[in-house]
Amino acid sequence: MTPAPDPRLICALDTPTTDEARALVDRLGDAVGFYKIGLQLFAAGGMELARDLKAEGRRVFLDWKLHDIGATVEKAAANLAGSGCDLLTVHARPQVMAAAARGVKGSGLKVLGVTVLTSLTAEDVRADDHSLSPADLVALRVRQALDAGIDGVVSSPQEAARAREIARAAGRNDFLIVTPGVRPDGASLDDQARAATPSAALAAGASHLVIGRPITAAADPQAAARAIAESIAQL
């Protein structure tokens, strides 16, 4: 009997077109049940694909990193709340997060604050006029996310343990910590500056893993996804 897909594993559909994304979903079959649709697909009919995936019983993560004035973010989040999708990202700014929380209130759509992109190094953060290290900036934004009342954050695996500690101290054991920058042993880091293996990310406190190229660029994406799922099955 084929095991059910691990709900902690999110496959990033970072393809140029929805046709390519659909072909990838078909190849993965029941090895993956949760998909991330980012800005690249958003600009190419990604919302229609999201609705199709939901109609098939799959879970969908809208990684759109909303960032605008509060009123606009609230209205956009309210529109997306009716889509039936599961996760939505916004930039981890207090006003933006609070607005998104208001917009999705009463729906099943959960809001995540994007803390510090996993492609950024400490030098990149300093160049963006931040005096804090990536780890300290993530910690600040986790506290702000908790204050805003959203459901979780996106952070690198390297900051997951501290984010989990802060959430638990606030009484939020249900707080989601979604980690991109996850690479199985031996996989290329690509553009990820702060990465970790799937098991290390979960051990650090991640609730979900976002994995793209180690699955999507594999000769056999389904086998790659199953191998990752098996590697974390006991965690």
Which residue carries 């690509």 as its tokens?
Answer: 190
Residues 54, 65, 75, 110: which is the catalytic one?
Answer: 65
Helix residue spans in the chain (DSSP H): 18-28, 39-42, 46-55, 70-81, 94-104, 122-127, 134-148, 157-169, 198-204, 213-216, 221-232
Residue 132's pLDDT is 75
Residue-range domains of the chain with CATH: 9-232 (3.20.20.70)
Amino acid found at 217: A
Q: Please give the helix or strand (H or E) that residue 87 lies within, else none.
A: strand 87-91
20-34 pLDDT, tens digit per residue, is 999 999 999 999 999
Residue 53 contacts residue 60 (beta carbons within 8 Å): yes
> What pLDDT sits at residue 178?
97
- Whether 105 is catalytic is no
The pLDDT, as a whole number, for residue 196 is 83
Q: What is the pLDDT of residue 122?
A: 64
Report whether 146 contacts 172 (CB < 8 A). Answer: yes
Please tell me the predicted confidence (pLDDT) of residue 96. Answer: 97
Q: Give the pLDDT confidence of 216-225 residue by residue, as tens digits.
A: 999 999 999 9
The model's pTM is 0.91
**Cβ pair 202, 232 in contact under 8 A:** yes
CA gap 218, 232 in Å, rounded:
19
**3-state SS assignment for residue 88:** strand
For residue 192, the model assigns a pLDDT of 47
Which residues does the chain have with pLDDT short of 50? 129, 192
The pLDDT score that the predictor gives to residue 31 is 97
Q: How far apart are the C-alpha atoms of 27 and 124, rounded to whole Å?
A: 37
Tokens of 41: 């697909």
**Identity of the residue numbered 16:** P
- Packing angle between helix 134-148 and helix 157-169, nearest 10 degrees? 40
Q: List the Cα angle 121/125/131 in 5-degree steps.
A: 130
The residues, ordered by sequence, that sit 6+ positions from 206 with a Cβ below 8 Å of its Cβ are 8, 157, 160, 177, 178, 179
Distance CA 176, CA 174 (A): 6
Amino acid identity at 74: E
What pLDDT score does 119 carry?
A: 61
Which tokens sit at 144?
């702000």
